[in-house]
């Protein structure tokens, strides 16, 4: 990766050090990742799914919670949780990833939640489709976006705010967009949005607003803090393109056994069955390749079938491991022809760094 | 805190920097803490309880899992999960804390899982008492300890090992020690020990071995890696005292709203109801005091009742907050007269740093 600030003149919010500060550590201990051995499960077990909470986990009360639908609609609505549960019920497996996944591997390093590669998970979400609710409310022709408001409140970039994100009407109207009240067959855990959240399959997680209290149809594109923050910029003054759908990525279960502190892997020589998952928000996964030589050569993995169009695709690869030092990488390609880069794509806030996973492995003679 | 290495000659495994390395960050993203706003719940919701996994989460199979009881016993046993579930069933709320909680606040900073103050949680554990099983097996008179073996395997301190910890026979025979198969009314999540773990109420968490496969009665005190690692040492050559029961600690829900990056708190002036929990492994909580002036003065909080003798004690404190800058701290004292220090107790591996929580707060005029 070419250093975007070769003179060492890094802008505010970017660190020249790979080490993280106590403030970033504080975030990493709250906003945890998925254990990569969790890639063995189709559905990530409760509590193992990645989590990113901007402010605090609010105290939600199922009995009194109300979702308001207002703004440029013919009929404003206020829906209780009982109302929402009485509507058509849909369950679907969805893979979700944080837009900041990979951020802490960048040089220089954008300062925020310091993800490495673990900000992922697949849950079985249960809820009701959003579209029929919008149709009942009657979104007016002059509305261009819907603003989704969560109950978590705090300060970011000197702006006090409820967490808010918007979607274009056409994106919000897609049949897979759900108002969700269950995760893996149980009520949403508080930290995943109890009692109600939005789930937008295929998009990075910031779009799937937790603790959802309001949906407002608006006439102008929303320019709230979270909407302008999630953009691809090289320099602070750039307008940038919005961060939307997940780029392709594949991760493998690190084989063998780990060293506690370094997480370095030790594998016994012989036939090793490598396993992992791949996903993309821009098309079905069509190919996963594996390299055991730091990306110099690649061979195709065998693909399984995803549990839903929005869930990750399992893959396996048989590796004949002889003693020595290796760097293992999987690389995913989707039906849109999008593939993972070997170099890290740098941007100012460290979004969508989908460069290939690199797993150093020492193979030991048996 | 007095710097234990004033000449700057810090030993291996200790960092002079407050910033954490990418390896420690990797651990912090796997081994997550409890969100402090989770102190509002008597029982920590699934997935919010702190987690410390030395190696990998093993793949447990309930149908084929066997717990062996062997060594210096009259009758060696091999118990299936069905066997264990057919035995007397006990459910109890237990507060558990990692021995390394507070480690990353020390100067110089021991290098390991870099906890700040969030390595806690209270679960409702269900299982069967260990003592009757030991009585059936008939632990022989020449046995001095029981060694508990978990299925997680890896390398630590250059030693390849299954995770193992021991208890003196008298500690293991205590009626509150359980073999646990449910957490919060559901099967153990994989990352919390599925299908079977030990829970030793009152002790730091390293004692409550997860993915339990074996219990072996031995004639000599166990000197495996994890047993010798968890000792209070000032210098690498020290023998040190073993780390056992939890020291008293109290934590509060940080009031007001946070700044995303710094987690600094902002509170509106007026009457603020502070809430928190306190616990100790060395006696019931008898007193919690609160300071709003960085420990210069203290006033008593009101104590609630713990749900069990092994669960944290809730407390509340009414604070009349006028505009300005404050540092809030709660301080717990147990029936043994043990209380929390204001200075951090330093030791080489950063165990049991129970110095008082410090929550900087800015009170804003309404």
Which residues of chain A does B225 touch, with a Cβ-Cβ cutoff of 8 Å?
Answer: none
Q: What is the pLDDT of residue B3?
A: 61
Give this complex's ipTM. 0.95
Alpha-carbon gap: A151 to the closest alpha carbon of chain B (Å): 12
Query: Which of A190, A192, A210, A265 should be substituted to probe chain B, the one whose Cβ sees the most B Cβ atoms within 10 Å?
Result: A190
Interval B244-294: pLDDT, tens: 999 999 999 999 999 999 999 999 999 999 999 999 999 999 999 999 999
Please tell me the pTM assigned to this model: 0.96
Question: Does domain B15-229 match CATH 3.40.50.150?
Answer: no
- Minimum Cα–Cα distance from B19: chain A residue: A21
Around B241, how many Cα atoms within 13 Å sit in the side-chain half-sphere? 6
- Minimum Cα–Cα distance from A119: chain B residue: B29
Q: What is the pLDDT of residue B331?
A: 98
Alpha-carbon gap: B121 to the closest alpha carbon of chain A (Å): 13
Are B174 and B245 within 8 A, CB to CB?
A: no
Instruction: Please calculate the CA angle B218-B224-B226 and round it to the nearest 5 degrees.
Output: 125
From the list A18, A154, A262, which residue is nearest B259 (CB)? A154
A190–B38 CB contact, under 8 Å: yes
Alpha-carbon gap: A69 to the closest alpha carbon of chain B (Å): 26
Which residues of chain A does B364 touch, with a Cβ-Cβ cutoff of 8 Å?
Answer: none
The CA distance from B296 to B331, in Å, is: 12
Residue A351's contacts (CB-CB under 8 Å, 6 or more residues apart) are A99, A100, A103, A204, A230, A232, A243
Which residues of chain B does A45 touch, with a Cβ-Cβ cutoff of 8 Å?
Answer: 189-191
Alpha-carbon gap: B133 to the closest alpha carbon of chain A (Å): 31
DSSP-based three-state secondary structure for A66: strand
Q: What's the mean pLDDT in B84-103?
A: 98
Nearest CA to A37 out of A124, A120, A125, A123 is that of A120
Residue A126's contacts (CB-CB under 8 Å, 6 or more residues apart) are A89, A90, A91, A180, A181, A182, A183, A185
Q: What is the pLDDT of residue B174?
A: 98
Interval B53-71: pLDDT, tens: 999 999 999 999 999 999 9
Are A213 and A68 within 8 A, CB to CB?
A: yes
Which residues of chain A does B29 touch, with a Cβ-Cβ cutoff of 8 Å?
Answer: 28, 32-33, 114-116, 118
Which residues of chain A does B111 touch, with a Cβ-Cβ cutoff of 8 Å?
Answer: 261
Beta-ladder partners of B188? none
DSSP string, B75-116: S-EEEEHHHHHTS--EEEEEEEE-TTTTGGGSSSEE-SS---
Alpha-carbon gap: A26 to the closest alpha carbon of chain B (Å): 7
Low-confidence ranges of chain A (pLDDT < 70): 1-4, 6-8
Residue A358's contacts (CB-CB under 8 Å, 6 or more residues apart) are A294, A327, A328, A329
Query: Which of A15, A30, A357 should be substituted to probe chain B, the one whose Cβ sees the most B Cβ atoms within 10 Å?
Result: A30
Assigned architecture for domain B249-364: Sandwich (2.60)
Taking the domains of chain A in order of start, what are their residue ranges? 14-242, 249-364
The CA distance from A36 to A28, in Å, is: 16
Beta-ladder partners of A299? A290
Percent of chain B past pLDDT 90, that is, above it, reads 96
A20–B17 CB contact, under 8 Å: no
Alpha-carbon gap: B137 to the closest alpha carbon of chain A (Å): 33
Residue position matching structure tokens 């308001």: A68
Residue A64's contacts (CB-CB under 8 Å, 6 or more residues apart) are none
Nearest CA to B117 out of B283, B347, B340 is that of B340
The CA distance from B226 to B302, in Å, is: 39
A26: region left, alpha or beta (phi > 0 left; psi from -120 to 50 alpha): alpha
Report chain B's mean pLDDT, rounded to a whole number: 96
Q: What is the pLDDT of residue B12?
A: 85
- Minimum Cα–Cα distance from A19: chain B residue: B21
The answer on pLDDT for B167 being more than 70 is yes
Q: What is the pLDDT of residue A9?
A: 74
Residue A286's contacts (CB-CB under 8 Å, 6 or more residues apart) are A333, A334, A335
Are A259 and A222 within 8 A, CB to CB?
A: no
Query: Which of B27, B30, B153, B157 should be substituted to probe chain A, the one whose Cβ sees the most A Cβ atoms within 10 Å?
Result: B30
From the list B19, B26, B33, which residue is nearest A30 (CB)? B33
Q: What is the pLDDT of residue B6?
A: 64
Q: What is the pLDDT of residue A3?
A: 61
Query: Which of A115, A253, A261, A360 should be substituted to probe chain B, the one whose Cβ sees the most B Cβ atoms within 10 Å?
Result: A261
From the list A17, A25, A254, which residue is nearest B28 (CB)? A25
Interval B283-318: pLDDT, tens: 999 999 999 999 999 999 999 999 999 999 999 999
The answer on pLDDT for B234 being more than 60 is yes
The answer on pLDDT for B354 being more than 90 is yes
The CA distance from A126 to A110, in Å, is: 35
Interval A307-332: pLDDT, tens: 999 999 999 999 999 999 999 999 99
Residue A102's contacts (CB-CB under 8 Å, 6 or more residues apart) are A115, A116, A117, A344, A350, A352, A353, A354, A355
B45–A155 CB contact, under 8 Å: no
Are B346 and B225 within 8 A, CB to CB?
A: no
From the list A46, A55, A260, which residue is nearest B260 (CB)? A55
Q: What's the mean pLDDT in B6-12?
A: 72
Q: How many CB pairs under 8 A join A and B?
A: 174
Residue position matching structure tokens 């020290």: B238
From the list A35, A57, A154, which residue is nearest B57 (CB)? A35
- Minimum Cα–Cα distance from A160: chain B residue: B259
B260–A22 CB contact, under 8 Å: no
B45–A111 CB contact, under 8 Å: no
Judge if the upstream peptide bond of residue B15 is cis by omega within 30 degrees of 0. Answer: no
- Minimum Cα–Cα distance from B58: chain A residue: A37
Judge if the upstream peptide bond of residue B195 is cis by omega within 30 degrees of 0. Answer: yes
Alpha-carbon gap: A159 to the closest alpha carbon of chain B (Å): 9
| CATH T-level fold of A14-242 | Sulfite Oxidase; Chain A, domain 2 (3.90.420)
Output Rg (C-alpha) for chain B, integer angstroms. 21
């Amino acid at each position: 990766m070419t250093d975007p600030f070769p003179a060492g003149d890094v802008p505010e919010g970017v660190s020249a050090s790979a080490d993280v500060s106590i403030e970033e550590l504080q975030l990493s201990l709250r906003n945890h990742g998925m254990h990569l051995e969790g890639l063995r499960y189709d559905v990530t077990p409760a509590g193992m799914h990645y989590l990113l909470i901007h402010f605090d986990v609010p105290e939600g009360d199922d009995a009194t919670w109300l979702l308001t639908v207002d703004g440029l609609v013919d009929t404003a609505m206020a829906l209780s949780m009982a109302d929402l549960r009485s509507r058509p019920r849909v369950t679907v497996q969805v893979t979700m990833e944080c837009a900041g996944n990979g951020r802490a591997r960048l040089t220089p390093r954008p300062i925020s939640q310091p993800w490495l590669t673990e900000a992922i998970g697949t849950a079985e979400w249960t809820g009701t489709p959003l579209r029929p609710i919008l149709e009942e409310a009657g979104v007016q022709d002059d509305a261009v976006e819907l603003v989704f408001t969560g109950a978590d409140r705090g300060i970011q970039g000197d702006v006090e705010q409820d967490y808010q994100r918007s979607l274009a009407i056409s994106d919000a109207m897609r049949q897979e967009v759900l108002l969700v009240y269950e995760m893996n067959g149980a009520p949403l855990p508080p930290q995943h949005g109890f009692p109600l959240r939005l789930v937008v399959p295929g998009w990075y997680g910031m779009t799937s607003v937790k603790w959802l209290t309001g949906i407002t149809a608006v006439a102008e594109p929303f320019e709230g803090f979270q909407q302008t923050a999630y953009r691809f910029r090289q320099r602070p003054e750039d307008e940038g393109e919005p961060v939307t759908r997940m780029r392709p990525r594949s991760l493998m279960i690190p084989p063998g056994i780990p060293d506690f502190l370094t997480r370095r892997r030790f594998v016994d020589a012989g036939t090793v069955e490598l396993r992992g998952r791949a996903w993309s928000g821009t098309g079905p996964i069509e190919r996963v390749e594996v390299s055991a030589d730091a990306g110099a050569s690649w061979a195709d993995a065998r693909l399984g079938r995803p549990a839903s169009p929005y869930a990750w695709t399992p893959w396996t690869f048989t590796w004949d491991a002889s003693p020595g030092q290796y760097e293992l990488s999987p690389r995913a390609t989707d039906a849109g022809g999008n593939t993972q880069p070997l170099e890290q794509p740098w941007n100012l806030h460290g979004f969508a760094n989908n460069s290939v996973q690199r797993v150093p492995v020492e193979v030991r003679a048996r």
